Amino acid sequence: MAHKKGEGSVKNGRDSQAKRLGVKIFGGQPAIAGNILIRQRGTQYHPGKNVGLGKDFTLFALTDGLVEFKKGRNERTTVSVVTEVPSEVPVAE
């Protein structure tokens, strides 16, 4: 019978810090210039109008407005910040 505990608990037990990736401001929500919209690894989402791309692939707003997500060609999702508020479509009565 062993007189020492196994060393597994010493060699294990390490883990990296969570990186808090993901969408920070969703579609239809207001964004202020400089706000981080998405933190990501690689370009899962691509920058559209009024959106900048940081060196770590962070998408951020360049102007104030509403965030808009669109699926483009090749199933590519682009994120834009729309400055003009869309007008209400009149309903036929």
Please write the tens of the pLDDT for every residue from 75-93.
999 999 999 755 665 666 6
Q: Rounded to two decimals, what is the model's pTM?
A: 0.77
- Torsion angles phi and psi, residue 66, rounded to 5: -100, 140
Give the CB-side neighbour count of residue 88, counting CA atoms within 13 A: 3
**What is the residue extent of each domain of the chain?**
19-82
Specify the fold of 19-82.
Answer: OB fold (Dihydrolipoamide Acetyltransferase, E2P) (2.40.50)
Q: How many CB atoms lie within 10 A of CB 27?
A: 12
pLDDT average, residue stretch 36-49:
97
- Segment among 5-14, 30-39, 64-73 with least mean pLDDT: 5-14
Place of tokens 């009149």: 90
Please write the tens of the pLDDT for every residue from 47-82.
999 999 999 999 999 999 999 999 988 999 999 999
